[in-house]
């Protein structure tokens, strides 16, 4: 783990703030527009309050989030007030222009006396707060008291996302991660304005979500993981806690139950799901593509119906991911047969299907979303799906897969689509990436993190940082803001904040770290 830096006593007469007050231009993802006024600065002081509109509980929630964020390092109370804003206050306002900011943008106005975040809803306020965190000295991220001054440069930032969907994925099936580890990752994602976390909840090696109607899925199917460790699973209560925590950080959980392949854990738990009626052993290796639900058995669809019903009930979000990847043990004909029965089940329970791009060949209805994970910029089935009206979520494996090694010496990770440097992860434009798929069909981007080789938070962080911020910027910032030489400079300046937060990261030689 990266050691937390020691607390430094400011020396008498030393002017340190000019060095460690970030520029308004140093934000990741790059904002839509930035105007910095030299000289003047806003100060967070002992009497700074956080002002919110009197009638918005959502804004008050954001204010409390900001307060919790800054109290430990500043040692200030940062009280939330709903009367009139005073001098030195941070002001949250719901008076943003819908035309300029949309549903999730914000405008930040900073002068000597006040820092105001304008938005049209709590989402924009939350993103403004994330930007504010990056505008303070890195020690503001400390979890113990530090010396200020706590200054923000004056000027104006106007900002809104390019794509609606900026997603990350965590594979909790190959290795299981506890609720606390998932929350840690959620906090890391939220800083970069990620708004979806896709959770890969089932695979050959483990079933990780409680299903009351099929209890052995977890008691047996969840009892191990890659390498033979003890695995684990989320109870419904724990999963609800993940959903709630994510939502308090503007992140929607998208649960994935992978089918018809990647199902050995389920097949091992219930013999009747197998065509030959015999349960295979649990699997702790890392091969893919060998398992399949039994397409011709009616009980398969009773199982899928029960699972989707229970998972849908645990999911406030609109989308339910049904996997569909690498079904190498299922014939093409069976795959289509299977999907044509499963897709209506998802819709019956009120959810919109999302699936890996193979499932496009099953002709999902036009509201369904298709997730592209290939390693080239052309795919006929994906282009046809887009032409039929399906939205496309981009996670090209050679660009956005956080589990790929950085170079051949990286000890963690796989390399079938890589290795992938930070520059390779950053240097593509999601809007123009896929042949015959117009930007208007792109829902956004996702950075998946598969966990065959990852067993703890340090390892998750090492693979995600710094490539996750790269994908986050591609999802948020407008095309004309995407610029590698600017990004690598801004990325280098994030490192002190990661160190304060105890985030492990890979010191890529492409980045001018200090
Ligand atoms: C392919 S990409 C998979 C996963 C593996 C991953 C490892 C995709 C949809 N499926 O089952 O974990 O490669 O990189």
pLDDT tens for each residue of 161-212 = 999 999 999 999 999 999 999 999 999 999 999 999 999 999 999 999 999 9
Residue nearest to atom 13 of ligand 1 (CA): 450
pLDDT band at 9 (very low <50, low <70, confident <90, very high): very low
- Residues forming a β-bridge with 41: 153
DSSP class of residue 282 equals: P
Residue nearest to atom 4 of ligand 1 (CA): 450
Examine the pLDDT at 4 and tell me if it is beyond 90. no
CATH homologous superfamily, domain 20-159: Chitobiase/beta-hexosaminidase domain 2-like (3.30.379.10)
- C-alpha distance from residue 461 to each of 57, 70, 421, 457 (Å): 33, 23, 15, 6
Give pLDDT, residue 399. Answer: 98
Nearest Cα residue to 90 out of 110, 76, 119: 110
DSSP class of residue 206 equals: E
pLDDT band at 19 (very low <50, low <70, confident <90, very high): low
Query: Counting runs of H as helices and runs of E as strands, what totals does the chain give?
Result: 17, 17
Helix (H/G/I), strand (E/B), else coil: 256: strand
CB-neighbour burial class of residue 281 (10 A; exposed 0-12, middle 13-18, buried 19+): exposed
The mean pLDDT value for 94-106 works out to: 96
Distance 287 CA to ligand 1 centre (A): 10
Q: Report the distance separating Cα 487 and Cα 29, nearest Å.
A: 9
Q: Compute and round to an integer the Cα radius of gyration of the chain.
A: 24
DSSP labels, 167-185:
EEEEETTTS---HHHHHHH
Domain boundaries, given as residue ranges, for the chain: 20-159, 165-481+497-501
Give pLDDT, residue 55. Answer: 87
pLDDT digits over 369-391, tens only? 999 999 999 999 999 999 999 99
Of ligand 1's listed atoms, the one at least distance from the Cα of 451 is: 12
Residues with CB under 6 A from ligand 1: 288, 325-326, 356, 373, 397, 401, 403, 414, 450, 452
Give pLDDT, residue 54. Answer: 86
Distance 423 CA to ligand 1 centre (A): 22
With beta carbons less than 8 A apart as the criterion, state whether 89 and 50 touch: yes
- Residues forming a β-bridge with 323: 259
Distance 397 CA to ligand 1 centre (A): 9
- Residues forming a β-bridge with 445: 166, 394
Residue carrying the six token digits 């738990």: 269
DSSP class of residue 281 equals: P
Q: Report the distance separating Cα 244 and Cα 228, nearest Å.
A: 31
Testing ligand 1's pocket by substitution, the residue of 327, 376, 397 carrying the most ligand atoms inside 8 A of its CB is: 397
Give pLDDT, residue 8. Answer: 47
pLDDT band at 83 (very low <50, low <70, confident <90, very high): confident
Catalytic residues: 326
CATH assignment of 165-481+497-501, among 3.20.20.140, 1.10.10.10, 1.10.3720.10, 3.20.20.80: 3.20.20.80
Describe the chain by its helix, strand, coil percentages, rounded to 5.
35, 20, 45
Q: Report the distance separating Cα 152 and Cα 161, nearest Å.
A: 23
Distance 450 CA to ligand 1 centre (A): 7
Q: Report the distance separating Cα 168 and Cα 184, nearest Å.
A: 13
Helix 457-464 to helix 179-190 angle, to the nearest 10 degrees?
A: 20
Of ligand 1's listed atoms, the one at least distance from the Cα of 450 is: 12
Q: What tokens does 317 get?
A: 């979000």
Helix (H/G/I), strand (E/B), else coil: 213: coil
HSE-up (13 A, CA, CB side) for residue 439 = 11
Distance 205 CA to ligand 1 centre (A): 13
For the chain, give the mean pLDDT: 96
Element (H, E) at 80: strand 80-81
């Amino acid at each position: 783990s990266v050691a937390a830096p020691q607390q430094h006593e400011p020396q008498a007469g030393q002017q340190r703030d000019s060095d460690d007050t970030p520029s308004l231009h140093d934000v990741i993802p790059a904002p839509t527009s930035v105007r910095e006024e030299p000289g003047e600065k806003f100060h967070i002081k002992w009497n700074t309050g956080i002002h919110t509109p009197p009638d918005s509980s959502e804004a008050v929630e954001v204010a409390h989030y900001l307060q919790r964020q800054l109290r430990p390092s500043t040692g200030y109370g940062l009280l939330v007030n709903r009367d009139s804003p005073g001098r030195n206050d941070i002001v949250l306002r719901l008076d943003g222009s819908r035309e300029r900011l949309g549903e999730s943008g914000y405008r930040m106005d900073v002068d000597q006396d006040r820092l105001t975040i304008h938005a049209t809803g709590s989402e924009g306020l939350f993103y403004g707060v994330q930007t504010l965190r990056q505008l303070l000295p890195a020690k503001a991220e400390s979890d113990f008291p530090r010396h200020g001054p706590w200054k923000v440069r004056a000027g104006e930032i106007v900002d809104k996302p390019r794509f609606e969907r900026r997603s990350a994925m965590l594979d909790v099936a190959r290795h299981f991660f506890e609720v606390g580890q998932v929350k840690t990752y959620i906090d890391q994602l939220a800083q970069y304005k990620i708004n979806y976390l896709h959770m890969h909840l089932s695979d050959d090696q483990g079933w990780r979500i409680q299903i009351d109607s099929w209890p052995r899925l977890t008691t047996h199917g969840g009892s191990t993981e890659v390498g033979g460790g003890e695995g684990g699973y989320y109870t419904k209560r724990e999963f609800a806690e993940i959903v709630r925590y994510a939502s308090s950080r503007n992140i929607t959980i998208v649960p994935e139950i992978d089918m018809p392949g990647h199902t050995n854990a389920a097949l091992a738990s219930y013999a009747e799901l197998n065509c030959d009626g015999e349960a295979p052993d649990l699997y702790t290796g890392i091969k893919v593509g060998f398992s399949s639900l039994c397409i011709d058995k009616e009980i398969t669809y009773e199982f899928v119906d029960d699972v989707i019903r229970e998972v849908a009930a645990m999911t406030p979000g609109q989308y339910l991911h049904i996997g569909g990847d690498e079904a190498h043990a299922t014939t093409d004909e069976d795959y289509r047969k299977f999907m044509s029965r499963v897709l209506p089940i998802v819709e019956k329970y009120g959810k919109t299907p999302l699936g890996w791009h193979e499932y496009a060949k099953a002709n999902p209805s036009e509201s369904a979303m298709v997730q592209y994970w290939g390693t080239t910029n052309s795919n006929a089935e994906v282009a046809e799906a887009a032409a039929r009206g399906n939205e496309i979520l981009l996670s090209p494996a050679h660009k956005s897969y956080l589990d790929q090694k950085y170079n051949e010496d990286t000890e963690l990770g796989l390399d079938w689509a890589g290795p992938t440097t930070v520059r390779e992860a950053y240097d593509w434009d999601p809007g123009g990436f896929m042949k015959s798929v117009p930007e208007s069909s792109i829902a956004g981007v996702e950075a998946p993190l598969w966990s065959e080789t990852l067993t703890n938070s340090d390892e998750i962080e090492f693979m995600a940082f710094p490539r996750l911020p790269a994908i986050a910027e591609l999802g948020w910032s407008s095309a004309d803001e995407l610029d590698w030489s600017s990004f690598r400079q801004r990325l280098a300046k994030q490192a002190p904040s990661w160190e304060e937060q105890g985030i492990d990261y890979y010191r890529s030689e492409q980045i001018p770290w200090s």
